[in-house]
Homo-oligomer: A and B are copies of this chain.
């Protein structure tokens, strides 16, 4: 596999890596329904806030979520709705067998 192709698939894999964690998948569902702050998400999931901050950073860097600042808070929302479509399709196909 040549360098070009290698690079192309490494970049695509980054998106899947960003999605490949239970907490981050939960975040995606949560911020699809409603904008939520780091602290609000932390309270729901019940993990260390620094850990949550890092999960959000990974999703943000991959442009899967977007943050909007309001006072001291940053409210996140889903930027790529097709993630949810894919998930329901994949689950459906996989469970059918």
Interface residues of A (CB under 8 A from B): 1, 5-6, 9-10, 12-13, 15-17, 19-26, 29, 44-46, 62-63, 79-80, 82-83, 85-87, 89-91, 93-94, 97
Q: How many copies does the complex hold?
A: 2
CA distance A5 to B42 in the complex (A): 15
A94/B15 contact (C-beta < 8 A), A1-B26, A20-B20, A46-B1 known: yes
Q: Which residues of B contact A89 (CB under 8 A)?
A: 80, 82, 85-86
Q: Do A90 and B94 have beta carbons less than 8 Å apart? A: no
Contact of A16 among B19, B45, B80 (CB under 8 A): B19
- Give Cα A63–Cα B91 distance, bound, in whole angstroms: 10
A13-B9 in contact (CB<8A)? no
- Which one of A10, A17, A23, A26 has the greatest number of beta carbons of chain B within 10 Å? A26
